[in-house]
Amino acid sequence: MNKYSEYFDIDEGYWPEINPSSIKDPKNRWEKTFPHKTFVDLLKATERMLARGTNSDKKGIWIEGAYGTGKSRVAWTLKNLLDCSADELRAYFEEYPALQKEPDLRDKLIGHKQGEIITAYRYASGGIDGDRALIMAVYERVTKALRDAGVAYKGENTLRGGVAAWLSDDDNKAYFNSLMKRPEYRGLGSFAGKSADDIINLLKNPNADVDALIGDIFTLAEKQGINALSTSMDDLIAWLTDVIDKNGLKAIVLAWDEFSAYFKRNKTSLDEFQKLAELSNLKPFYLMIVTHVSGSIFSETDQTGKIVRDRFVRKEIELPDSIAFELIKHALKVKDNQKDLWDSLADDLNSRMPISRETVRKAVWKDSSPICRRCFGRPGTD
């Protein structure tokens, strides 16, 4: 008996889910993401966000949906679409019939790429407990994205510049040096073998990776009650604004997958989060969060939840009944050397099931789509 593997190329890079491991696999290409209707709608919302045409468009995007609808995959794909070259974007649009019908959307997205868009990505939010953790997570992710993109100015005059200025005072320097010698702080890796002067030089060096160092400084400051070294959401917003303005950036987009846990852990203290979300009204910094259906996080009577949701353009990812057949059609790639033989076999298989084909057509498509012939890689109608 013949096997399907004799006729079709098998995608060895397929991952059933998107997570930190799967996105590192070079075989798991974002271009494989099938653009169903709600994903195309998300692309259109993203284009309007970047265009900043109306006040209602000057918002981040909240991607939500039920389990198994592919929210993580579309968010990851969207991040890559913003990163990729114009030629790669064109190729993606040319590959899928649903996108071939959207030349205006394609051209607008390519147009936005004329400006510099910085995209940051983070997975999971279970460890974000409180405002300080949120601030440091955003700072760390955006700083890494700026560094990866080769952006020259990373806000040395604001967040890290303020820390360097405080440490430069002789009294503060002496106090900080004494604190670093304490047993509870000697274990902080970024302080090892360094004096306050060493730290000042690192903070003033725009090419130095100081993410961990900044985090340890703020940890020490919080434990010691050094308010001048504590960072606030206002400080983070000032830093983001400075980075956008000084570099002339088109946008900074932070895509944050699996964000539901943040709301569950911080449901009663969302004021600072709202400040960050509201920055998009003034500057092109956009949060793109991914959660389960928001109704399962906030009840309809939850006023705080309503206010938070209003800070975003909400896009629910749904899969149409026909998606399984569309995905099968897209996944079944007939081997070139077996095409003629497969065509004859597919026609024979197709001819044996007129009743089942008609039943599926009525239940799923409700039109005359050639379901089984398309799944078998053949043109025509059922």
Q: Which of 55-64, 200-209, 214-223, 293-302 has the highest mean pLDDT?
A: 55-64
Kindly report the backbone phi and psi dihedral angles of residue 267, in degrees, each rounded to the nearest multiple of 5, phi listed first: -60, -30
Kindly report the backbone phi and psi dihedral angles of residue 31, in degrees, each rounded to the nearest multiple of 5, phi listed first: -65, -10
Interhelix angle 103-112/37-51, nearest 10 degrees? 40
pLDDT tier at 371, thresholds 50, 70, 90 = low
pLDDT one-digit tens code per residue, 242-251: 999 999 999 9
Residue owning tokens 């799967």: 22
Section 146-159 average pLDDT: 87
3-class secondary-structure state, position 254:
strand
Q: What percent of the chain has pLDDT over 70?
A: 95
Which tops the pLDDT comparison, 18 or 42? Answer: 42
CB neighbours (10 Å) of residue 51? 13
The candidate with the shortest Cα–Cα distance to 295, out of 320, 314, 311, is 314
- The topology (CATH level 3) of 22-148+249-316 is Rossmann fold (3.40.50)
Which tops the pLDDT comparison, 126 or 228? Answer: 126
305 has a pLDDT exceeding 80: yes
Q: What is the mean pLDDT of the chain?
A: 88
Q: Where are the domains of the chain?
A: 22-148+249-316, 159-234, 322-375
CB neighbours (10 Å) of residue 287? 22
pLDDT tier at 226, thresholds 50, 70, 90 = confident
Section 334-363 average pLDDT: 80
Ramachandran class of 318: left when φ > 0, alpha when ψ lies in -120 to 50, beta otherwise: beta
pLDDT at 208 (0 to 100):
84
Section 342-360 average pLDDT: 79
Interhelix angle 159-168/196-204, nearest 10 degrees? 150
According to DSSP, the β-strands at 333-334 and 8-9 are antiparallel
The candidate with the shortest Cα–Cα distance to 315, out of 25, 71, 12, 5, is 71
pLDDT one-digit tens code per residue, 76-91: 999 999 999 999 999 9
Integer Cα distance of 312 and 6 in angstroms: 48
The candidate with the shortest Cα–Cα distance to 317, out of 93, 37, 18, is 37
pLDDT at 52 (0 to 100):
96
Please enumerate in sequence order all residues whose Cβ is within 8 A of that of 15, keeping only pairs 6 or more positions apart, or say none.
22, 25, 28
Of the candidate ranges 92-106, 257-271, 348-362, the one whose mean pLDDT is the lowest? 348-362
